[in-house]
């Protein structure tokens, strides 16, 4: 097939645990990813970040803004929000902008300190960057610190979703995805045109079958999120699917499937 579609395959949650970081690094070494999204306030980030930084000319590396796992990066005495708590508070206007601003700047500073550069892109763990009250802070800091470097922001809308997961895609849209995408267009901020990779992380999932359907529906400049990892962290609710994702993305079947559906992976750093 002559006309290939370019897909941005992004592994989320780097730093969440040693197993997650190890799995992602394995894929980076094999050139099976376009991008890696880093959790600054996660247990393994500091340990594994140096090795990842050696690949910054081969893969895009971004900030996975985290407000729902562990403690705040800016103050370890502040426990992160529960996802439902954060969702309710942001939509009711009960979130402190100064708190979010301080934490975002702290995570951004931490990324720069470790990686020696600004992130290629910004997104959010559990997509919190698109929630009202948080996205306004994101845009404020973006204009001050990131626009000049052409940093992109992940958009979760419009989603190329499979029928069993349409409701999850609609929830992403309603909780801020559509409004974020509208603002990204209005403000002329770099972002992906389409979003994919949505499913329920059920232990019995046939990941290759899902991935082939995502490849079939993908258009150029689609960002497809994935969550690979090694080992079994009993506290990780999606530990079973992390192993399945890693095995598939390392397999020959992954390469063959991309070729069959005319998909090539975006590689290298963002051109600025």
pLDDT band at 262 (very low <50, low <70, confident <90, very high): very high
d(CA 134, CA 143): 14
What are the extents of the domains in the chain?
A: 5-265
> What average pLDDT score do residues 68-74 get?
96
> What average pLDDT score do residues 43-61 get?
96
Bridge-based pairing of strands 152-153 and 194-196 is unpaired
CA dihedral 238, 240, 242, 243 (to 10 degrees): 170
The whole-number pLDDT of residue 271 equals 45
> How far, in Å, are 22, 146, 199, 258 from residue 112 at the CA level?
21, 12, 32, 34
Q: What stretches of the chain show up as alpha helix (H) in DSSP? A: 18-29, 45-53, 83-91, 97-115, 134-141, 166-172, 178-186, 207-217, 239-249, 252-260
Q: What is the mean pLDDT of the chain?
A: 95
The whole-number pLDDT of residue 272 equals 38
> How far, in Å, are 43, 190, 224, 244, 271 from residue 154 at the CA level?
24, 9, 10, 24, 16
pLDDT band at 231 (very low <50, low <70, confident <90, very high): confident
> What average pLDDT score do residues 220-233 get?
94
Could you report the per-residue pLDDT of 76-115, keeping only the tens digit for each? Answer: 999 999 999 999 999 999 999 999 999 999 999 999 999 9
Beta bridge pairs of residue 121: 152
The whole-number pLDDT of residue 211 equals 98
pLDDT at 1 over 70: no
Could you report the per-residue pLDDT of 149-203, keeping only the tens digit for each? Answer: 999 999 999 999 999 999 999 999 999 999 999 999 999 999 999 999 999 999 9
| Residue 106: Cβ-neighbour burial (10 angstroms; 0-12, 13-18, 19+) | middle
State which fold the 5-265 domain adopts: TIM Barrel (3.20.20)
């Amino acid at each position: 097939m002559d006309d290939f579609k370019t897909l941005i395959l992004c592994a989320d949650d780097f730093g969440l645990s040693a197993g997650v970081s190890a799995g992602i690094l394995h894929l980076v070494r094999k050139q099976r990813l376009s991008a890696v999204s880093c959790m600054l306030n996660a247990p393994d980030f500091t340990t594994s970040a140096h090795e990842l930084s050696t690949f910054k000319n081969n893969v895009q590396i971004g900030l996975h803004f985290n407000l729902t796992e562990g403690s705040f990066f800016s103050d370890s005495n502040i426990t992160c929000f529960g996802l439902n708590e954060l969702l309710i508070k942001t939509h009711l206007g009960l979130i402190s902008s100064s708190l979010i601003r301080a934490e975002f700047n702290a995570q951004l500073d931490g990324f720069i300190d470790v990686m020696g550069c600004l992130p290629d892109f910004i997104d959010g763990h559990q997509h919190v960057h698109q929630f009202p009250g948080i996205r306004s802070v994101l845009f404020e800091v973006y204009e001050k610190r990131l626009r000049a470097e052409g940093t992109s922001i992940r958009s979760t809308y419009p989603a190329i979703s499979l029928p069993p997961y349409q409701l999850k895609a609609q929830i992403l849209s309603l909780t801020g995805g559509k409004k974020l995408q509208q603002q990204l267009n209005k403000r002329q901020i770099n972002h992906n045109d389409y979003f994919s990779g949505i499913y329920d992380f059920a232990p019995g999932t046939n990941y290759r079958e899902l991935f082939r359907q995502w490849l079939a529906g993908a258009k150029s400049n689609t960002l497809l999120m994935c969550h690979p990892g090694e080992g079994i962290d009993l506290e990780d609710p999606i530990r079973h699917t992390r192993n399945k994702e890693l095995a598939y993305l390392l397999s020959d079947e992954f390469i063959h499937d991309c070729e069959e559906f005319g998909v090539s992976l975006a590689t290298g750093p963002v051109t600025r």
